[in-house]
C-alpha cells in the first residue's frame, strides 16, 4: 500500500507566494525523511497532508484517503507533532496528553492509560506530573511526540522534531523516532533541514527545494550515488588529478578539493597510493557529509 501519494501538488498563498510547485511523489510505509532548507515547503506539505490547508491544485492521498475530501478520517489515523512551541505551560504533561487523547476520541480511562504509556515510551516518568512550563526543551519535544502517539496513529508527521536540541538530545530523539518506526509498527514522516540527521534513521528520503521535488528514493540508492571522498593536497593538485584519472577514477574539481566517488574501500587505497607515489603533502582525505545542496548538485549533474 502506498503511504503518501501526491500528484502535481501545487500550493500558492494569496496567488503570489508559491510554497509547493507540481510536486509528485509516492512513498511506501516506513520511516520517511522529508528534507529541505527552511522555506522549502516542508511544513506546507504536512499541513496539506493533514487537511489543514487545501492545495491550490493537484491530488493528494494519505493512507489511501484524500485529506481534502475527508480530513476527519485522515486525522483520526495520523499523529502530528508541530515544529513550534505548542504546550500550555501551566498543565502537567500527563493532564495535557490525557486531554488530547480524549480529543482524539479515546474514552476517559483509555485516554489516561495511553497517555502514561505514551509518556513512558518517550522517556518521561515522574516528571510528567509537573507543569510543562518548567521542562527543558528536550522534555518539551518528548511531550509533543507523546501527544502525537497517544491515540495510536498509523502515521506520525513530525515537523523538525530535533529543533532546539543539543547533540545528545538530537541523538536520543532520533533513536526514539527510529524505534517508533521499527518496533512500534507506525510509519513516520520526519521533517528536517539536516540531511545528515535523518539519513541515519530513515528508509526513504524525499528532498524538496523551493517547493519542487529534488529526489525521492530509497535511502540506499541515494547514498550510494552521493558518497564522495574529498581529497585535498597542499600542492600538486593538478598532478594528482591526472594520476587519479589515469587510474580510471572519475575525478571532479571543487576549488582546492578533488572529489572522487566512493566505490568501495579500495578507492581509499588507490588515492593514498597515488598521493604516496607522487610524494605530495596530503592535507585531508574524508568522506563528505551530505547536504541538501549536494543532492541538488547531483541532480543537475545527472540531468546535464
Partner 1 sequence: MPEPSTAAVRSAPTGVIHDIGYQRYKGTRLGRRHVFGALYLHGLRTTFGFGRSVKAKIFPWLVVGIVTLVAVALAAVRSQIGEPVATYAQFADAMSWLVIFFVAVAAPELVSRDLRSGVLPLYFSRPLPRTDYALAKLLALVTALWLLLGGPQLVMFLGAAFTTKEGMGGVWNELLDLLPGLLYAGLWAVVFASIGLLVASLTGKRAFAAGGVVAVFLMTTPIVGVLSILPSRTANELAGLASPSTLVQGVGIWSLGDLLVEGDPGEMTIGGFGPVYALAAVLLVAGATALLLARYRKVAS
Pairing mode of beta strands 4-13, 17-27? antiparallel
Report if residue 117 touches partner 1, rule: CB under 8 A: yes
- Choosing from 39, 138, 210, 236, the residue that interacts with partner 1 (CB under 8 A) is 138
Which three three-digit cell numbers place residue 180? 517508533
Nearer to partner 1, 91 or 225 (CB): 91
Report if residue 165 touches partner 1, rule: CB under 8 A: yes
50 Cβ contact list (under 8 Å, min separation 6)? 67, 71, 74, 75, 78, 80, 157
Instruction: Give the H or E element holding residue 27.
Output: strand 17-27
Contact assessment for residue 156 and residue 148, using Cβ atoms and an 8 Å cutoff = yes
Report if residue 139 touches partner 1, rule: CB under 8 A: yes
Contact assessment for residue 254 and residue 209, using Cβ atoms and an 8 Å cutoff = no
Nearer to partner 1, 88 or 196 (CB): 88
Report if residue 242 touches partner 1, rule: CB under 8 A: no
Output the smallest distance, CB 297 to partner 1, in A: 34
Report if residue 30 touches partner 1, rule: CB under 8 A: no
Pairing mode of beta strands 78-81, 155-159? parallel
Report if residue 66 touches partner 1, rule: CB under 8 A: no
- Choosing from 24, 64, 88, 300, the residue that interacts with partner 1 (CB under 8 A) is 88
3-state helix, strand, coil in the chain (%, to 5): 40, 25, 30
- Choosing from 128, 151, 215, 243, the residue that interacts with partner 1 (CB under 8 A) is 151
- Choosing from 26, 69, 175, 263, the residue that interacts with partner 1 (CB under 8 A) is 175
Report if residue 183 touches partner 1, rule: CB under 8 A: yes
Report if residue 184 touches partner 1, rule: CB under 8 A: yes
CB atoms within 10 A of CB 233: 20
Report if residue 105 touches partner 1, rule: CB under 8 A: yes
Report if residue 168 touches partner 1, rule: CB under 8 A: yes
Stretch that binds partner 1, among 116-124, 209-217, 228-236, 293-301 (CB under 8 A): 116-124
Q: How many residues bind partner 1 (CB under 8 A)?
A: 52
Kindly identify the residues of this chain, within the stretch 253-292, that bind partner 1 according to CB under 8 A. none
CB < 8 Å & 24+ apart, contacts of 95-104: 96/132, 96/143, 96/147, 97/128, 97/143, 97/146, 97/147, 97/150, 98/150, 100/147, 100/150, 101/147, 101/150, 101/151, 104/76, 104/150, 104/151
Interior/surface letters 159-168, b for 16+ CB within 10 angstroms, e for the rest: bbbbbebeee
Q: Which parts of this chain interact with partner 1 (CB under 8 A)? A: 47, 50, 52-53, 72-73, 75-76, 78, 80, 82, 84-90, 95, 99-100, 102-108, 110, 114, 117, 120-121, 123, 136-139, 147, 151-152, 165-166, 168-169, 171-172, 175, 180, 183-185
Amino acid at each position: 500500500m502506498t503511504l503518501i501519494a501526491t500528484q502535481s501538488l501545487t500550493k500558492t498563498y494569496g496567488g503570489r507566494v508559491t510554497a509547493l510547485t507540481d510536486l509528485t511523489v509516492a512513498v511506501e510505509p516506513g520511516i520517511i525523511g522529508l528534507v529541505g532548507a527552511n522555506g522549502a515547503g516542508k511544513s506546507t506539505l504536512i499541513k496539506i497532508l493533514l487537511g489543514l490547508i487545501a492545495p491550490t491544485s493537484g491530488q493528494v492521498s494519505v493512507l489511501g484517503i484524500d485529506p481534502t475530501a475527508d480530513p476527519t478520517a485522515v486525522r483520526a489515523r495520523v499523529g502530528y507533532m508541530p515544529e513550534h512551541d505548542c504546550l500550555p505551560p501551566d498543565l502537567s504533561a500527563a493532564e495535557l496528553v490525557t486531554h488530547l487523547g480524549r480529543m482524539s476520541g479515546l474514552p476517559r480511562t483509555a485516554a489516561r492509560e495511553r497517555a502514561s504509556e505514551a509518556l513512558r515510551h518517550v522517556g518521561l516518568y515522574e516528571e510528567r506530573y509537573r507543569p510543562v512550563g518548567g521542562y527543558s526543551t528536550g522534555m518539551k519535544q518528548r511531550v509533543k511526540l507523546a501527544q502525537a502517539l497517544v491515540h495510536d496513529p498509523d502515521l506520525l508527521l513530525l515537523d523538525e522534531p530535533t529543533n532546539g536540541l543539543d547533540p545528545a538530545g538530537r541523538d536520543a530523539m532520533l533513536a526514539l523516532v527510529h524505534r517508533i518506526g521499527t518496533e512500534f509498527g507506525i510509519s513516520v514522516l520526519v521533517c528536517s533541514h539536516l540531511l545528515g540527521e535523518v539519513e541515519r534513521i530513515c528508509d526513504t528520503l524525499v528532498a524538496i527545494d523551493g517547493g519542487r521535488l529534488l529526489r525521492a528514493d530509497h535511502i540506499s540508492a541515494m547514498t550510494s550515488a552521493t558518497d564522495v571522498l574529498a581529497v585535498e593536497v597542499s600542492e600538486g593538485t593538478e598532478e594528482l588529478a591526472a594520476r587519479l584519472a589515469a587510474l580510471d577514477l572519475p575525478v571532479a574539481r571543487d576549488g582546492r578539493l578533488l572529489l572522487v566517488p566512493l566505490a568501495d574501500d579500495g578507492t581509499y587505497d588507490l588515492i593514498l597510493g597515488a598521493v604516496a607515489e607522487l610524494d605530495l603533502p596530503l592535507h585531508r582525505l574524508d568522506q563528505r557529509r551530505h547536504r541538501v545542496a549536494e543532492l541538488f548538485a547531483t541532480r543537475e549533474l545527472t540531468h546535464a
